[in-house]
Structure 1
């Protein structure tokens, strides 16, 4: 057992340095010359420090298994006991993986399914190849102490019996609504000793969903939505699917909402006759890359669909609209902004299909024309996905020392890993004059959620063409801002100018006085 000896002969055993050890240490140190010669205030200060330090050591040395064993009931009604705080977790579901990481347990994850790609650091984890029928041997090789899966089959799922044979605590999730997702977050938080974090996350997500419900519950005009997940042949969504659930909460009508199955295979004529106001295509499905342009080329009837005629075709990442995890709320908010921009301070929404094959040899561009004039040029992306850009009428409060030029932009992406783009925001000199903003002070700012403030990007001002440009590698709110030009009457006058003016005026007065004397 290691011991350190104080230079005055006091011996400290670090393995026994707990609260009681600290109290004993204090008594021993009182006998030392260090304390005998010290002033009372100094001695009191050292004792106070020891007391605080004792508390810190007591906290640090608290048992890692405090609160365990824990018994929970999963989504299939199974009673599961976790004997110790999990340190080797296997997640067999992208939604489960995102929940576990959102609770701050990323360092405890030793394996995930092949579809888990968020957050970016999950890419380095060992993979379970089959998400539908996970191989018990693959999981056992990772030596887990907790396995969490998603059941595609519900009660009677044969995977459950196969994995139970491992003798490792197994939690099965099977959510079908936002309330189920929230319960699963609390379930996983309880099973892993992260109850506080799970409660805080759930409360935040509930508030965001409630806000969307409150704003859309009384809408009288609901747009008809066609949500396409494959073509050809056509596959879309019906009741019981996550996209259908999001469309309803966001204040829309799924044109196949009366289907008898969750996944629908209609003929093209059914879509054309339904005349959807909005078409949403999905990203993240290998082999599927439909856009407004490709849909127009499908043949007679498609070009007459209102969504096609009005350019209301958007693409959303599968990870935001099909994974029962925290980011499902992000997908809901984006969809609500598309369906009812007037309710969510959204002036316009654009989407850009990220194509990594194209980005290997060139860039991808998106031009914005409504409310904010801007160009986005994507330079890099690690995954195919959808870049969602919204022009907003309001955003986080601008600092008092700055003025907003134009409006806000919010840029989002379901798979942001490795994403780098340039953002070019245009301005007019007349707008700057009206605002009283100096052109040389213009910068693109981004909103830092962590610091809750606007921070400047390294920006280049092109005065000839009237734009500000910056390179961006993260997603958040963006805005063009500049410093206000000081009012002439409020501008402080340099002392040397004052002295010269006073001197000139004095000289003039002297000259006038002398001239008057002569007369």
Structure 2
């Protein structure tokens, strides 16, 4: 069985399912699990080299529509007659259902069912800590600075916020991705600003730039030094690794209610697929 993944979230989903060994090629941004580092790279998720994909003779290409612009990949796959499925998760439930979709497409239903049970078990484990939270701080997630893009009510980060004991200030907007402006954000008075720019590594994000935005220095989140740079890989990719993101955010917001976050232990916790 030969599988090609065209975006990081799909690669991570396959890794969680224990199917990494079947991957023969991935996009340039995939970086988990580490075993994929030796695989051929096929271009960025918005500019896939379809000649390279076809040359790998895949039994299945796992494509995505999670980022605007990926439609081109789908069109090219159709034109070449390559076997593919398309994932487009917007919620934590969708991520779980994608496990079953991939399992069915690969004829690996038993593995998929076990991974699905494990995913939901870990999710419920996180929800139990959230039940103890009384005060839920208001969170503003910044996906992109200008124009401003932020997750709305139907996006997985609204769920992640809730389970971690917070609330997304844009939860009232039913869109999964909201295009807005700096003034709208300021008026919502977030208590925390969480910067997770899509496709940008944490070290490249400069929180000091927020001080240049009109009236932003008066925001409580900035005055109280509650501006955090978050890992794009844990919050911007709709994969099972969002569960690690929940663990980390919960410990940051409510250190007395959530377990202390340890990155290595969190990875081990996620990968305990004993049922597989």
Secondary structure of 2:25's counterpart equals strand
Q: CA deviation at 1:242?
A: 3.0
SS class of match (2:90): coil
Matching of residues 325-340 of structure 1 within 5 Å: 325-340=239-254
Work out the number of aligned pairs and report it: 266
Partner of 1:89 in structure 2? 3
> Is 1:183 matched up with 2:97?
yes
The answer (yes or no) to whether the contact 1:132–1:152 under 8 Å persists in 2 is: no
Counterparts of 1:211 and 1:413 in 2: how far apart (Å)? 15
User: More strand per residue: 1 or 2?
Assistant: 1
Give the SS at the match of 1:323. Answer: coil
1:481-500 alignment runs, 5 A limit? none
Give 1:309 deviation, angstroms. Answer: 2.9
Shift of 1:126: 1.6
Q: Larger radius of gyration, structure 1 or 2?
A: 1
Flag the 1:294–1:165 CA change in 2: closer, same or farther, 3 A: closer
Q: 2:12: which partner in 1?
A: 98
Structure-2 residue corresponding to 1:309: 223
Quote the residue 1:342 is aligned against: 256
RMSD: 3.3
The one of 32, 37, 54 equivalent to 1:140 is 54
Q: Is the 8 A contact 2:132 2:257 kept in 1?
A: no
Alignment of 1:56-205 (within 5 A): 86=1, 88-132=2-46, 134-152=48-66, 159-160=73-74, 162-205=76-119
Partner SS, residue 128 of structure 1? coil
Q: Is the 1:317–1:413 contact (alpha carbons within 8 Å) kept by the matching residues of 2?
A: no
Instruction: Identify which of structures 1 and 2 has the higher relative contact order when contacts are C-alpha pairs closer than 8 Å and 6+ apart.
Output: 2
Q: How does 1:436-515 map to 2 (within 5 A)?
A: none
Q: CA deviation at 1:269?
A: 3.1
The aligned residue for residue 289 of structure 1 is 205
Equivalent residue for 1:278, pick from 183, 192, 195: 192
1:268 to 176, 179, 182: 182
Instruction: Give 1:97 shift.
Output: 0.9
Distance in 2 separating the partners of 1:197 and 1:96:
16
| Superimposed CA distance per residue, residues 104-140 of structure 1 (whole angstroms, 9 cap, x where no aligned partner) | 3333211111221212232322222252464543321
1:244 equivalent in alignment to 2:158: yes
Once the two structures are superposed, residues 412-467 of structure 1 have per-residue CA deviations (whole angstroms, 9 ceiling, x without a partner) of: 699x9xxxxxxxxxxxxxxxxxxxxxxxxxxxxxx9x98xxxxxxxxxxxxxxxxx
Structure 1 residue 228 and structure 2 residue 137: aligned?
Answer: no
Indicate the SS of the match to 1:110.
Answer: strand
Deviations 1:368-423 (A, max 9, x none): xxxxxxxxxxxxxxxxxxxxxx4xxxxxxxxxxxxxxxxxxx24699x9xxxxxxx
Query: Could you tell me how far apart the structure 2 residues matched to 1:247 and 1:144 are?
Result: 37
Between the aligned partners of 1:345 and 1:130, the Cα distance in structure 2 is 36
Cα gap change, 1:124 to 1:256, in 2 (>3 Å): same
Matches within 5 A, 1:387-406: 390=261
TM-score normalized with structure 1 length = 0.45
Query: Where in structure 1 are there 5+ consecutive unaligned residues?
Result: 1-85, 347-389, 391-409, 417-446, 451-519
